[in-house]
Chains A and B, each alone.
Chain A
């Protein structure tokens, strides 16, 4: 009989404890797997989000705080300059303002108004129904608008319907007249928080919402580098144009995010994955040790029958591998379900972009999870194996008979 067969029979004989050990390893393994996914999940998710926009360079002003940069001045001239650079394939600008959607049957609803020079949306929204801002149909006197799904649901708006919006001027005691917009599309805005009311319109629509007068500024600019030049050369070329610009490639934005944002969750994931690995080790080591202590007579009898120490050790290793292996396999689907629950909890954080996820599966997490479990099984089996192979056969058998 092979060592594996012997281990399998032992597990079947002590079925209850084996099942409980597998359940324990599966639950703790699921948590461990989730913490491994959490450690890189945000970064992967953010990278997916940033890279899905179709632009690989972001340009902001230098003034202001990192999360509240002041707009770029002389934006139109800068657009022209950037467009003329040989390293740049395309450039677009984004303007934002806080506004209120006027409801005929209730108080105004606060919305974020975006003006985009790219009718396809700069990658800031993903169309669900209707079209983008470049649609030619409908009343041309009304500016087109793509609105967020929660807003469409709440205000019962659909492509073809119209609504009015009034821009709020920050720091000024003035009120803009409300202007009507026609809804051309409903979209998800992955960079905005879940449930946020967002309205995206053309730069012309944005100007109209601001009373027809718009300062020559932009909150953010996006550029696409030419494949021959690459984003780094384009970043350097744009940075040389003016000193009041902060120019980042997508890679730099992601690297900055990795350094600064949500580091707490990454650290907590390291702490918890270490703790859960330790817990799994304790669980398996304790169960195997107690189990071997209980079966000392049985082990001594096997040794007396001529079964080699190596085979006894291999049997115990297989026992540990069976408990940890089956538990670890069960941990994968359990971990996926748990990750969905935990992700749903964390994504309720206010202001979190809707497209951002904390738990993202990647092969590296699976590899690390498997490595942790293999190490757990091996380390947990060391002491029970040592107990079994060092067993004095005659003395143990005598004690067993006397007891």
Chain B
């Protein structure tokens, strides 16, 4: 892989272009920004002053691979054949520069050992003093692990707030039915049965709320993605309500509902039957 900053010296110059101009691909963003069209011939140089410029033909346009690390960067990019790029950027005074690349991507053969990439990169770095090797998996994941932890922490706080909300509602509901529960106790319905009823009610409210929340999120994801995709001109997906996430929110709602129901029923049943029916 060879990443270099090129200068677009001139835009479309189709008329008298060299017939053998090599092909390049340009990103959708560059095509729009430089008002290019497929078949146009452009002049590129590796030097900001335009020295050693060469002409290329725009053979196609591509959508840059969505990259979360670059989502707020304008993707003004072009892809050249490696030989063409080296010919454009190599320093004539340095014969080694035409045989120099910035990055080499290595795919290791399949193996169940997860530490293999680390040991390979360490071994390569130790044997070759001019090479810095690092597993791409780790370097890519760290940022998103951090963002994931941040969102998880916010979700946890929201769950605590929701628990207090549900608990307050369940307490009010329990207060409302104080006399009914007193009568039920008087006719012989056990505390356990009444408690189970309140817990089940709390559970149903929590699960129904979570399911409703999942539906709202599923409906909102399209709007959120469209907004951020338009804002950053990227095909990246910012929000996806996967079945796993939906299941996780419902799974979190279950203990919340049980706790709210249990506390509410305890607050109701801790009083004696006579206290419940007294006005």
- B-binding residues in A (CB < 8 A): 14, 16-17, 20-21, 23-24, 27-28, 30-31, 62-65, 70, 107, 110, 168, 171-173, 175, 244, 260-261, 263-264, 267, 272, 279, 282-283, 286-287, 290-291, 294, 338, 341-342, 345-346, 348-350
Is there contact, CB below 8 Å, between A345 and B161?
Answer: no
Assess A110 versus B153: contact at CB under 8 Å? Given A24-B165, A263-B72.
Answer: no
Q: Which of A64, A172, A264, A267 has the most CB of B within 10 A?
A: A264
Flag the segment in B58-66, B112-120, B168-176, B242-250 that touches A: B168-176
Is there contact, CB below 8 Å, between A346 and B168?
Answer: no
Q: Which chain A residue has the least Cβ–Cβ distance from B68?
A: A264
CB < 8 Å neighbour of B172 from A107, A175, A260, A287 = A287
With both chains docked as a complex, state the minimum distance between the C-beta of B228 and any C-beta of chain A, in angstroms: 8
CB < 8 Å neighbour of A272 from B142, B154, B167 = B154
With both chains docked as a complex, state the minimum distance between the C-beta of A375 and any C-beta of chain B, in angstroms: 18
Which residues of chain B come closer than 8 Å to A16, judged between CB atoms? 171, 267
Extra A-B contacts (12), CB below 8 Å, given A21-B168, A24-B161, A283-B161? A17-B168, A20-B168, A24-B164, A24-B165, A175-B129, A175-B130, A264-B72, A283-B165, A287-B169, A341-B153, A345-B146, A350-B143
Q: Which chain B residue has the least Cβ–Cβ distance from A66?
A: B73
With both chains docked as a complex, state the minimum distance between the C-beta of A351 and any C-beta of chain B, in angstroms: 9
Is there contact, CB below 8 Å, between A290 and B146?
Answer: no
Q: What is the size, in residues, of chain B's interface with A at 8 Å between Cβ atoms?
A: 36
Which residues of chain A come closer than 8 Å to B169, judged between CB atoms? 286-287, 290
State the majority secondary structure of interface residues on B: helix
Which residues of chain B come closer than 8 Å to A346, judged between CB atoms? 146, 150
With both chains docked as a complex, state the minimum distance between the C-beta of A332 and any C-beta of chain B, in angstroms: 15
7 closest A-B pairs by CB = A24-B164, A20-B168, A27-B161, A28-B161, A23-B164, A63-B48, A24-B165
Instruction: Judge whether B126 is part of the interface by a CB distance below 8 angstroms.
Output: yes
- A-binding residues in B (CB < 8 A): 5, 48, 71-72, 96-97, 100, 126, 129-130, 132, 139, 142-143, 146-147, 149-150, 153-154, 157-158, 160-161, 164-165, 167-169, 171-172, 175-176, 228, 231, 267
Is there contact, CB below 8 Å, between A173 and B153?
Answer: no
Q: Which chain B residue has the least Cβ–Cβ distance from A16?
A: B171
Which residues of chain A come closer than 8 Å to B231, judged between CB atoms? 267
CB < 8 Å neighbour of B161 from A31, A62, A70 = A31
A272 to B157, CA, bound (A): 12
Which residues of chain B come closer than 8 Å to A294, judged between CB atoms? 172, 175-176
Assess A31 versus B164: contact at CB under 8 Å? Given A16-B171, A171-B97, A171-B100.
Answer: no
Which residues of chain B come closer than 8 Å to A64, judged between CB atoms? 5
Which residues of chain A come closer than 8 Å to B176, judged between CB atoms? 294
Assess A264 versus B71: contact at CB under 8 Å? Given A62-B48, A350-B139.
Answer: yes
With both chains docked as a complex, state the minimum distance between the C-beta of A268 and any C-beta of chain B, in angstroms: 9
Q: Which chain A residue has the least Cβ–Cβ distance from B267?
A: A16
A23 to B130, CA, bound (A): 58
A31 to B151, CA, bound (A): 12
A267 to B232, CA, bound (A): 12
A70 to B6, CA, bound (A): 13
A173 to B129, CA, bound (A): 10
Q: Which chain B residue has the least Cβ–Cβ distance from A31?
A: B157
Is there contact, CB below 8 Å, between A20 and B146?
Answer: no
Q: Which chain A residue has the least Cβ–Cβ distance from B238?
A: A264
With both chains docked as a complex, state the minimum distance between the C-beta of A324 and any C-beta of chain B, in angstroms: 14
CB < 8 Å neighbour of A345 from B5, B139, B149 = B149
Is there contact, CB below 8 Å, between A348 and B146?
Answer: yes
CB < 8 Å neighbour of B142 from A175, A291, A350 = A350
A22 to B31, CA, bound (A): 56
Which residues of chain B come closer than 8 Å to A27, judged between CB atoms? 157, 160-161, 164
CB < 8 Å neighbour of A338 from B157, B164, B167 = B157
Which residues of chain B come closer than 8 Å to A107, judged between CB atoms? 126
Which residues of chain B come closer than 8 Å to A30, judged between CB atoms? 157
Q: Which chain B residue has the least Cβ–Cβ distance from A351?
A: B143
Is there contact, CB below 8 Å, between B168 and A65?
Answer: no
CB < 8 Å neighbour of B132 from A110, A244, A350 = A110
Which residues of chain B come closer than 8 Å to A260, judged between CB atoms? 72
CB < 8 Å neighbour of B150 from A168, A261, A345 = A345
Is there contact, CB below 8 Å, between B171 and A17?
Answer: yes
A350 to B146, CA, bound (A): 9
Which residues of chain A come closer than 8 Å to B5, judged between CB atoms? 63-65, 70
Which residues of chain A come closer than 8 Å to B48, judged between CB atoms? 62-63, 244
Q: Which chain A residue has the least Cβ–Cβ distance from B142?
A: A350
Assess A24 versus B150: contact at CB under 8 Å? Given A64-B5, A175-B129.
Answer: no
Assess A349 versus B143: contact at CB under 8 Å? Given A23-B164, A64-B5, A107-B126.
Answer: yes
12 contacts between A and B (CB under 8 A): A14-B175, A17-B175, A20-B168, A23-B164, A30-B157, A173-B130, A263-B72, A272-B154, A287-B169, A290-B172, A341-B153, A345-B153
With both chains docked as a complex, state the minimum distance between the C-beta of B192 and any C-beta of chain A, in angstroms: 22
Which residues of chain A come closer than 8 Å to B150, judged between CB atoms? 342, 345-346
Q: Which of A30, A110, A349 has the most CB of B within 10 A?
A: A349
Which residues of chain A come closer than 8 Å to B154, judged between CB atoms? 31, 272, 342
Which residues of chain B come closer than 8 Å to A244, judged between CB atoms? 48
